[in-house]
Structure formats: structure tokens, C-alpha cells
Structure 1
Amino acid sequence: MLLSRSALLPIWHPRGPALLCAAPTEGSTDVTLTSACTSTKTIRRTGVAVLTAGVFVLSGCTSSSTPEREGTAADTTATTAAPTPGGTLTFARTQSPTSLDLHTEITANNAFAIDKIFEPLLSFNAQGEIEPWLASEYSPSEDGLVWTFTLRPGVRFSTGDLVTPEDVVYSLNRHIEVGGPLPLDAPITSIEASGTDTVVITLSEPYTPFIAELAGFSNGILPADLGGVDEATFFKNPVGTGPFVVDEWTEGGDISFTKNVNYWQDGKPYLDELVYKLVQDDNQLVAQLQSRQVDVIDSVASANVATLEGNSSLTVSTTPSWVVEEIFFNTLDEHFADRDVRRAVSYALDREGIVAATSFGTAEVAGSVLPPSVPGYDATIDSLSYDLAGAKASIAASAYPDGFSTKLLVASGNTLRAQEAQIVQAQLAEIGITVEIESIDLAAFRERFRAFDYSFMINSATSDVADPNGIVSFQADPEGGTNGYWTHYNNPEVTALIAQGRTLPDGAERTAVYSEIQATIAGDAPFIPLSYPSNIKASQATVQGLTVLPNGSVRLQDTWLTK
């Protein structure tokens, strides 16, 4: 996602004024924010058609990806027709939900079902900008330690019960207690209800990512005490404020939703029903879309983009993302515990060649664990890019100068990963590393890497918010909930810098800290960033009003179907 390198968030600054953000008008898709919260970003990617707003609301056979002319922003053509309520949207996804507990989950299969059911106090839009959501406004004290949130009047759970400050207090405290892979890391000393519509959160010290964290799906609001039922019962049929309510669900299979008739945005959602259909193979996704068995596919292999764009009955959307495609090393593995081995692999991989061969112009070569759109990204990082002589020198300096044999774990059914794996296999052979590609189904893939039962793998990391702390903590903080994205990477210098970056106000000093973090991680090479891919989705041309967020999720309350 190539936005302006400037910060996208209204971050508190100790020398600046208090920040106050206004709410979106009920029943409107427009959001009116104070100047502190508003910014306009122009997206640029050479050879890639992108949408500034991440929204495609087209009718007929017009493609949603309008190529940019030199010096201009991408155009977005919107239908002038009024939304038509009703209908069922079948949304094909490569991953099915296995749990709807927002405090224990992190992967997209669960997160992008959870965020249709539960909503946080704040959210972010297609440009990554924070906006009020269940809170109509919020503001910090002068010292940035006390944050006051005013709840939007009349918001109800899907049961019809009003959302109260006590529900917010319960929800955030449960998240703190559970922790989970996306913990609420802010140094919160108290969360208190005040009156009928106010929540006050007190911090022990300034914490710059606080507002960004609150906008994540894992800080959605639940009924206090789960409405009086046990956790297992509640999360089988969860109650939230989101646009949809679970209808039928087979864990690991399809899930269907009905509209939340008590949704706080007047008249929405437009759809009566939403079905997430499991389709795990890239080619099957395309086949089912072309045969009209499904209305939307959640991901499009880059090799299939041209084919779909040539079909006048379909719409293809290519929008920016907060995703980094990476190679991950299990640093508990006897070979990849060796820093020189990891550095040798990094030098041996021709990332430009890999991206050119696999992305068909829909991705950019990566050099950092931060996506370019996230504040703090440093394009000058020495990422140990392709240098065969350097690779041979590093492997010679390692404990395995004559090379070794290992296994590369990938999820099956993913065309991109299969191609990447084959290229990695061939290029590492140049330095004496023999790679066996182990391709297994997605569920087993997740089980394996979470159990550290792998040597190295290809996967992706997604920033949940436009703040560098999120994705850096996720991958490099040993206390971050994922054990360094299941690499077991632990560098005390990086850990200390992460802690420092959380407390610094946005500005040059904070940016310098994240540059140092990126440089140190690149030198240690626990991960090798390969590319910054786009979000690519496709739909029937009858589907209107999909809003694609930079984390890959899709807002569906504004979606409707033409006849």
C-alpha cells in the first residue's frame, strides 16, 4: 500500500491540543471528522491499478480498477442508483472460521467473520484513518493519560438490548485478562463507566498506539458477562452490534449470517443474508465465480487477474494492503538457529526476480517487515538483498559451510506460494541448501507452524492498524502473543526499542526508533520480506458497495445487489 509516508492516525502529542473526533451520520456512508482526523492520500504503484478509497460500487461491466495516468490519482466510478435492499451474497473464502472468540483469534479466517458480528469503539476506513464507530467522540486529557469516550446514542446489540458503558468495561477487561495473540498492550490502569454514555480509560504513561489498538477487531464490544451464559454457549451464537448475526455455522466449513435488524446504521445492512462459502483452491475460486456459483471471491491469484478482467460480467478490484509476504524461519530449528544461515538465505534469494515472476505487476519488492503505507516504514533499510557472493560467504561462515537439507512448509491450493516455493528451492540450491517443499492443507499448515513443527515456511503478515507497533510487536516482541510469529525470534535490543517506540510521540524520534528496529531485524533475518502484495478481489458486476480495508477485510453493511 503506497500512501504518503506521513502518519495516518490522529496520534496524541504531549505538546499538542486535545483531539476530538466527530461521528459518522447515522444512515450515511460518509464520515465527517475534525481536521485532526482527516487526511487525503494518493496511492501510487507503477504498473498497478489501485483505488484510493478501496471501494468499488460499479454497475454493468466497468472494471473497478481504473489505471492511473501519470501524475493523477486513480479514478473511482460510482453508480448513481439507490441501493436495493434484500438478497443473499455468497462470498467465497479460502479459509473458514474455527472460532468466533475475538480475544483468542488472529488469523483472517476467524477475524473477518468476527468483525461482521462485533464492533469496536473506533474503526479505520479504507485509507487506514481512524474514525469513531460505537463511540461518537473521544478525547484525551492534556497529559495523554486519561481518555474519555462517549458512546453513540441508541446503539443496540443484536438482541435489542442497549449497549451501556458497563458492556464496554467488561469487554476491554476481558480482553486484558485473556491476552490472546492480539493483546491490548496499552498500560491501562483502569477502565470505568461514567454515567449512561461515557467510558473513561486511564493509562499509567503515554502510549502512542492506543487509539490504533482500540480500532482493531479484537476490541469489539460484548454484552457484560456474556449475557449470562458460558463462553462456549455464547461464542456458538454470539451477540454483538455488527451488521450480521450468525445463522448456521459448521466449524471449519461454511458459515451463514442474517442481517442484524437492530443495527445502529439506519437501513443497513442492505443484504438479508451473507454466506461465507469455503473454496480452498485458487482455480476453483475463479471457476465458481465465472459460473456464478458465488458472488465474490476473497482473493484472486495474480496469475488470474487478466482472465477475470477480460470477463465483462465481473468486476476486479486491486487495492492497497497492509500485507507483507515473507519467509519465516523457525529459530529453534538446528539450521535456522544460526544467524549466518538465515543471512545466507536472504542474500541467495533474488526477490526482484521472484516478484516479477509471480505477481504479474500486482506487488512490489519488499525490504522491510513494515508495509510502506504504515508510518515508520524505511525504504533505505539494508535488507540483505540478492548477492550470491555474500550468500556463499555467509554460508561458509555458518556451522554448515557445506550446506544441508531442509523442508519448506507451504499451504496447498495457493498458486502464488507454490510458485514462490519452487523459486526458493532452485535459488537455495546455488549455496548448497537442498529444499524439500512440503505442501499441506491450510488447517494442518496452521497447526504445524503454531506448534513450531516446521523448519521454514512462506506466509504473510498483516498489520491490523496503521501504526508500526502492531506488526512489529506481532513479529518481533517475544511477549507479543505469537512468540515472534511462531519464529521464536528474541533480540533484547529489538524488544527494548519496541517498548521505547510505544511511548514516544509521533515524529522524527519515533520514526528513528522504528528505522533501527527494521535495520536490526533485517540484519538478524528471522524473516525475509519478499513482497508487498495488493488486495485483489473479484465479484459479479451485480455486487455494489464493497469496501475493501487495507487489512484485507471487507465491509459489507453498505453492500447491495442489482437486479
Structure 2
Amino acid sequence: MALGHLRRAAAALLILPVLAGTALAQGGDPPPNRVLRVVPHADLRTLDPVSVSVVITRMHGLMIYESLFAWDSQLRAQPQMVGEHSVSPDGLVWRFTLREGLRFHDGQAVTTRDVIASLRRWMARDVVGSHLGARVAAMEAVDDRTFEMRLSRPHAFVTYALGSAVGQIPAIMREQDAQTDPSRQISTTVGSGPFRFNRERWLSGQRVVYDRNPDYVPRAEPADGLAGGRVVNVDRVEWLIMPDAASAAAALQTGEIDIWEQPALDLLPVLTRRREIQVDRLNTLGTQSMLRPNSLFPPFNDPRARLALAYATDQAEVMAGGWGDERWWRRCDAYFVCGTAYGSEAGAEGYARPNLERARQLLRESGYNGERMVFITSTDIPPIGRMAEVVASNLRQIGMNVDLQVNDWGTVITRQPRRDPPSQGGWNLFVTNASGATMQHPLTNIGTDMSCEGRNWSGWPCDEEAERLRAAFLDAPEGAERTRLAEALQRRLAEVQPYRVLGQVDVPYARRANVQGMLAAPVMVFWNIRKQ
């Protein structure tokens, strides 16, 4: 009798995952141990990962879309949607064949028509994409699974670009979605990735819900960064929006949530004392904090005014204000991130410490005469709001008339791309953060693109010499010459200041100890994770 009970119990355990998946497919709720509850750093406001470079939208994009290649934990490009690829001896003709089993969430097979339309839209929007796109002479389908990309000149970073996890990601969408005007955001959410967006359960400002895609076929390789097999071990991921840090900390301690993506640093001592909570770093490159001026309008259309920002701001004061304990942050004046292959601080020696008199002089030389400076920020992401307050105080000390306007983060990110004059809804300054993976390379660093066509990132700085050096770097062979050009580019950037580097921070995350399988990646992803 006892043996019969054991056999029936074992059989029941074997069919539980199947029943959970069936319930989910029918619109029911999976059991708690199959739901991963996460407090993200911000609310999701924009659904189109090709329209904006906002991190939360990028995280959303990686849940539901895929790209042709993906970066592993060492930021090397590995095939993702691509099964096979080749390049001609002259480096001008690339041929890509999609792997089998790729289907969109609506059941349609992914074809090269979808891929080509998606890449064209991405190349019209993204810094990395536009650089590659400038050398693409043609993209043509060979058949439904194979296409060719013909270049006018060789490009050393083709697969690296096609796997980009920074800026606006090269997400592969359905052809009808990808044909949307690149300047317009799409509102559809049909990808081919490991999760499906659950629009019915999405409640802006409260929760975002993703369900496991039961039809997704992962790659066979082990997960490594964003590359390899994207195996989903839970039935649902819920992002719960909790702007109040104390509430998030309490929820993590009681087990109401499983992961807190960016815990408040002043609460870490409380969390680390709990054995059921683990605090860790997501990757080794950290995050770069920056002050971005708008170069379209006075005074920051003059590089002297932008340089004044560097002399006026005290990195230690700003970073301590934003991030607290110095064990989490460091001074750094390298545009391409301290501690990396191209992390030189050359040219920044003069403003390693504040020089307010020099800042005032440069401001006067730029023609500034007390005009109101619109500084947009938000307290929804507390470190950003606190850093902005410190920077505003620094700038007032050099005579700048700062109007610090605090809005919700969604308003800030929708205002950033506006090119209107500051007096008509535009802006002069904002503070933000960008992942070290984004900023560590001249190709992917969105802030150092100073191309003068006006297609670069919000702020739109223009400098032909910086662009000449960046282009030379990207064409140079790997090795000493590329390193030399990276340092020359750093010196030029330190002079013309497309943005003020405020410092570098290792942003930790916190999770319950029963959550295993977190991946070292440029942004947090939710495949490979198990709840024990």
C-alpha cells in the first residue's frame, strides 16, 4: 500500500510541470515556484527596443526578441539566430543562414525578409547600426533562410555589431513591424524569443509580465552571457514596479520577490546580514555615470562651455551623492571605461580635480550670460536624481542659472530625443548611466559618436576630428595601432567633451539564495535561472 502511494506521488511530481504549462497556456496562473518576481530599476514605458536606447526597454527587447548574433560573457560575438555564416576573402560579401526552428510568437516562420527589414530599420536608428549600415551596399535574400550582405568597404566588426547588446539592439521583428517608419515607435510585441509579452496582465506603473514561450527552440550550447542556449526554467517572469526602496527591501526579505535588480546601496548592510539573501555584481565592467549637455543650443554648442562642466564638477562629490559608500564607485575620466583595453584617461589630467575659476573663465568665453539652463532629471531612479542635485549645485557655484526640473523617468526619457529649444520643451542637461559594456568600445559608446549628420544620440555633439579618429580606429588592425588611436581619440574627447564622465560604479543586485543561474551579461536576463 505504501509502495503504491509512493509510485502515485512520483507520477504526480513528474506531471506537475506539464500541468503548470497547460494551465499557463489556458490563461491560468502557474504555481509560485514557477514564477520569478523581479523589482527592476525602472518602469517599462517604451516597447520598441529599436526606437530608444533605454536600458529597461533593452531588457524588455531581450525577453521577447532575438538577434542574429549575441555577445558572450567576454563580449565576443557568437551565433544566435544564425546557424552558419561565411565571408568572402576580400571581406565584402557576408552570407548568413538562419538556424532551423525559428518562429515568431504568432506561429509564422522567421524568414530572411523579416531579417533584412529589421536590420534596415535598426541601421537607421542605432549608432552601431548606422556605422555598419554606411558600408552596406546591398542586402538580398537568397532564399527564406539565407541572405547576403554586400559591403562597399570591409568592416572589422560585422558580427560584433549584429550581436550588439547596447544602444538600440538589432532585434529581429516581423517584416510588417520592421517596415514601420524608423522615427515612429512600434507598439506590437511579437518576437521569436524565449518569452512572450503578456499584454493583458501589463499594468503601467505596477507590473510587466512575460510568459515562457513553449514553442521556442534554444541553441544547444550552454548559456554564456547573452549567447548560447536561452533555456527558460520558469513559466512566468513578473516585473513589479516598486519605487520605494524600503518596500522593495522588505519584499525581498519576506520572499515576496526573488530579485531586486538595483537595490538601494544604503540598505545593502541590512540585506547582506540575511543568509537567505545574496548580493552580487552582474558583470565586471560596471556602469559609467555621465552628464550629457545638449550641443544644439547655446552655450553647449561651444566646446568651451562643455569643458567648463568638467572643471566645475567634483567626481567624488557627485558619485558619493549618488551611490554612497566608496567601495561601490571610483573616479574615472576614461570615456572607454577604466580597467578595459581602451580605458585611457589621457587628456583629462587638468580637471582630475575641480577648478571653479577655470570653469567660470571657459563659461564666459563661450558667451554664456546667465541664461536659464533646463536640467531634466528624475528621482524614480534615486542615484540619478541625487547625482543631478549635486551637479546642479556645482554648476550654480560657477554662475550657471540652473532650472532643475524633476519628472518621472518616463517623461525624462521621452523628452531626451526632443530637439526643441529648451524654452519650448527641450532641455540643456541631464544625468544618466550607461553600462560598461556599452561604453568600453569606440564603436558602441553612444555618447562619443560626434558625427555631424545629427543622427547620433540625444545631445547631438559634432566634431569632425573626433569622428576622423574614431573611423581610423575602427579601420585599424587589432593591436598596437588600434590602441594608439584609441588614446588619441580619448585625448580629443577630453578636449571637446561630448559628455562629462562623472565616474564609474559597480551596481550590485540582490536575490534570494534559492535563485540560481544568474548570467554575467551587459543587462540582466531571465533565462537559465532556476528557483530551488
TM-score, structure 2 normalization: 0.78
Give the corresponding residue for 2:525: 555
Cα displacement string for residues 306-363 of structure 1 (whole angstroms, at most 9, x for unaligned residues): 3322222212122324632011112344343443333233112221343355342112
CA separation of 1:251 and 1:430: change in aligned 2, threshold 3 A: closer
Q: Counterparts in 2 of 1:77-476, with a 5 A limit?
A: 87-176=34-123, 178-179=124-125, 183-186=129-132, 187-194=135-142, 197-216=145-164, 218-225=169-176, 236=187, 238-248=189-199, 249-250=202-203, 254-265=207-218, 268-318=231-281, 319-321=283-285, 323-356=287-320, 358-360=323-325, 361-372=327-338, 375-382=341-348, 384-388=351-355, 389-395=357-363, 397-400=365-368, 406-433=373-400, 435-452=402-419, 453-462=426-435, 463-464=437-438, 467-472=441-446, 475-476=449-450
Give the corresponding residue for 1:15: none
Gaps of 5+ in 2: 1-30, 221-229, 420-425
Distance 2:52 2:362 in 1: 38
Give the corresponding residue for 2:224: none
SS of the residue corresponding to residue 444 of structure 2 reads helix
SS of the residue corresponding to residue 469 of structure 1 reads coil
Gaps of 5+ in 1: 1-83
Please report how far the alpha carbon of residue 235 of structure 1 lies from its aligned counterpart in structure 2 after TM superposition: 5.6
Distance 2:204 2:478 in 1: 42
SS of the residue corresponding to residue 547 of structure 1 reads coil
Q: Conserved in 2, the CA contact under 8 Å of 1:158 and 1:239?
A: yes
Distance 2:366 2:180 in 1: 56
SS of the residue corresponding to residue 241 of structure 1 reads coil
Give the corresponding residue for 2:16: none
Q: Conserved in 2, the CA contact under 8 Å of 1:339 and 1:525?
A: yes
**Which amino acid in the other structure matches residue 179 of structure 1?**
R
Aligned residues: percent identity?
A: 22
Cα displacement string for residues 148-180 of structure 1 (whole angstroms, at most 9, x for unaligned residues): 32332333333444434444334324434x535
Q: Conserved in 2, the CA contact under 8 Å of 1:323 and 1:532?
A: yes
Distance 2:468 2:104 in 1: 41
Give the corresponding residue for 2:26: none
Q: Which has the higher helix share?
A: 2
Distance 2:207 2:91 in 1: 44
Distance 2:496 2:288 in 1: 18
CA separation of 1:364 and 1:488: change in aligned 2, threshold 3 A: same
Please report how far the alpha carbon of residue 88 of structure 1 lies from its aligned counterpart in structure 2 after TM superposition: 0.8
Please report how far the alpha carbon of residue 492 of structure 1 lies from its aligned counterpart in structure 2 after TM superposition: 2.0
Distance 1:229 1:526 in 2: 31
Distance 1:206 1:188 in 2: 9
Q: Conserved in 2, the CA contact under 8 Å of 1:205 and 1:503?
A: no
Please report how far the alpha carbon of residue 395 of structure 1 lies from its aligned counterpart in structure 2 after TM superposition: 4.2
Distance 1:239 1:419 in 2: 37
Please report how far the alpha carbon of residue 206 of structure 1 lies from its aligned counterpart in structure 2 after TM superposition: 1.2
Distance 1:229 1:184 in 2: 17
CA separation of 1:371 and 1:139: change in aligned 2, threshold 3 A: farther
Distance 1:507 1:531 in 2: 27
Question: Which 10-residue stretch deviates more, 437-446 or 106-115?
Answer: 437-446
Q: Conserved in 1, the CA contact under 8 Å of 2:93 and 2:150?
A: yes
1:477 to 451, 468, 482: 451
Q: Conserved in 2, the CA contact under 8 Å of 1:257 and 1:273?
A: yes
Q: Conserved in 1, the CA contact under 8 Å of 2:448 and 2:493?
A: no
Give the corresponding residue for 1:61: none
Q: Conserved in 2, the CA contact under 8 Å of 1:89 and 1:275?
A: yes
Distance 2:117 2:293 in 1: 38
Cα displacement string for residues 43-100 of structure 1 (whole angstroms, at most 9, x for unaligned residues): xxxxxxxxxxxxxxxxxxxxxxxxxxxxxxxxxxxxxxxxx99611112123233333
CA separation of 1:511 and 1:330: change in aligned 2, threshold 3 A: same
CA separation of 1:159 and 1:521: change in aligned 2, threshold 3 A: same
SS of the residue corresponding to residue 405 of structure 2 reads strand
Distance 2:366 2:198 in 1: 56
CA separation of 1:528 and 1:155: change in aligned 2, threshold 3 A: same
Q: Conserved in 2, the CA contact under 8 Å of 1:96 and 1:252?
A: yes
Superposed CA RMSD in Å reads 3.3
**Which amino acid in the other structure matches residue 532 of structure 1?**
Q
Q: Conserved in 2, the CA contact under 8 Å of 1:106 and 1:181?
A: no
Please report how far the alpha carbon of residue 251 of structure 1 lies from its aligned counterpart in structure 2 after TM superposition: 5.3
Distance 1:175 1:340 in 2: 34
CA separation of 1:273 and 1:321: change in aligned 2, threshold 3 A: same
Give the corresponding residue for 2:491: 519
CA separation of 1:441 and 1:122: change in aligned 2, threshold 3 A: same
Distance 1:250 1:191 in 2: 39
TM-score, structure 1 normalization: 0.74
Distance 1:404 1:169 in 2: 47
Please report how far the alpha carbon of residue 513 of structure 1 lies from its aligned counterpart in structure 2 after TM superposition: 2.8
Give the corresponding residue for 1:30: none
